[in-house]
Amino acid sequence: MIQLTTHMRILVAIEPADFRKGIDGLAGLCRARLNQDPFQGTVFVFRNRRATAIKILVYDGQGFWLCQKRLSKGRFPFWPQSVTATTRRLEAHQLTVLLSGGDPTAAQGVPQWRQLDA
């Protein structure tokens, strides 16, 4: 089972993906277009052209997980835009908001705590 934690690196692909692709096709997309290694445990989030579905690809150390959510009605209203970047980083709570059909940029969360050296 996949559990989102605050320590996970979550990248949202800016460009829509061909949803006929499975695990191998999306892993290849991570390497070729996003310049990322899919075996590093990063959570990759893709959407289709019509913005009605999202796929999540993640490697857990033993194998890949591929999850898909397709809306029964409507579209995902938010998706990051960029002329130069291929991905956008999200926090775990922002991904939860995105999967619920909300705007993750409006999600307020507490800053991640990091211990400071004295």
Q: In angstroms, rounded to a whole number, what is the distance separating the alpha carbons of residues 5 and 16? A: 25
pLDDT tens digits, 13-60: 999 999 999 999 999 999 999 999 999 999 999 999 999 999 999 999
Asked if 42 contacts 60 with a C-beta cutoff of 8 angstroms, the reply is: no
pLDDT bucket at 109, cuts 50 / 70 / 90? confident
Place of tokens 């857990």: 60
Assess if residue 93 is contained within a domain: yes
- Asked whether residue 112 carries a pLDDT value surpassing 80, the answer given is no
Answer whether residue 5 is part of any domain.
no
User: Is the predicted pLDDT of residue 115 greater than 80, yes or no?
Assistant: no
Domain assignment present for residue 3? The answer is no
- Residue 50, domain member (yes or no): yes
Coil vs helix vs strand at 35: coil
Residue 2 forms part of a structural domain: no
Residue 65 lies in a domain: yes
Task: Please indicate, yes or no, if residue 4 is contained in any of the structural domains.
Answer: no
Q: Which domain holds residue 58?
A: 10-76+84-103
CA–CA–CA angle 25, 89, 64 (5° rounding):
35
Tell me the pLDDT band of 1, cut-offs 50, 70 and 90: low
Residue 22: both structure tokens together: 């499975």
Q: How many domains does the chain have?
A: 1
Residue 115 within any structural domain of the chain: no
Residue 86 pLDDT > 80, yes or no? yes
